[in-house]
């Protein structure tokens, strides 16, 4: 199972970073509205959205922010990490067809407590659309091995 695990706390250093990118589709917005229950017409109704300051439909802010979770759970620190908290600030809208790049950068490593803090930022082109900070718990290699997880 160790080969399925992401980084261990011993492997992490301040400054490490990774990213994930995805182009937001109409189907993504519709699916997110269905799963989350957020059917605000700014996301799903063209006629309504045309009358807003955005002049058209926008993706849910939390849909864009969910790409941060993709980085954390699959890349850095990756599988095995536990997402403990997240602050978010939504800076600009994401429109259908925009490509969102979620970037995570390690800012603190506490090996004793097995905790890290990461800066989280989502971009569309050069525009920051979401920014914040996340806290995660990360397994130690010794703890993982002692628990018999390497079988």
- Domains: count for the chain: 1
Distance of alpha carbon 16 from alpha carbon 116, whole angstroms: 11
CA gyration radius, the chain: 18
What is the pLDDT at residue 151?
A: 43
Residue 86 belongs to domain with CATH number: 3.10.129.10
11 occurs within a structural domain: yes
Mean pLDDT of the region 65-90:
97
What is the pLDDT at residue 147?
A: 63
84 occurs within a structural domain: yes
Mean pLDDT of the region 63-73:
97
pLDDT band at residue 4, thresholds of 50, 70 and 90?
A: confident
Domain of 48, in residue numbers = 2-146
- pLDDT tens across 88-144, in order? 999 999 999 999 999 999 999 999 999 999 999 999 999 999 999 999 999 998 877
SS3 content of the chain, % helix, strand, coil (to 5): 30, 35, 35
151 occurs within a structural domain: no
Name the pTM for this structure. Answer: 0.90
62 occurs within a structural domain: yes
Q: Is the pLDDT of residue 77 over 90?
A: yes
Nearest to 100 by CA among 24, 8, 13: 24
């Amino acid at each position: 199972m160790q080969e399925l695990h992401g980084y261990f706390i011993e492997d992490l250093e301040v400054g490490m970073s990774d990213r994930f990118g995805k182009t937001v589709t109409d189907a993504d917005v519709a699916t997110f509205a269905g799963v989350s229950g957020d059917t605000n017409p700014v996301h799903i109704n063209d006629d309504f959205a045309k009358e807003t300051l955005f002049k058209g439909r926008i993706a849910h802010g939390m849909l864009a922010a969910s790409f941060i979770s993709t980085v954390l759970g699959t890349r850095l620190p990756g599988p095995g990490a536990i997402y403990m908290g997240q602050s978010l600030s939504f800076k600009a809208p994401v429109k259908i067809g925009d490509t969102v790049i979620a970037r995570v950068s390690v800012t603190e490593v506490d090996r004793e407590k097995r905790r890290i803090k990461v800066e989280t930022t989502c971009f569309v082109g050069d525009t920051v659309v979401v920014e914040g900070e996340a806290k995660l718990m990360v397994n130690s290699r010794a703890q993982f091995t002692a628990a018999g997880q390497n079988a």
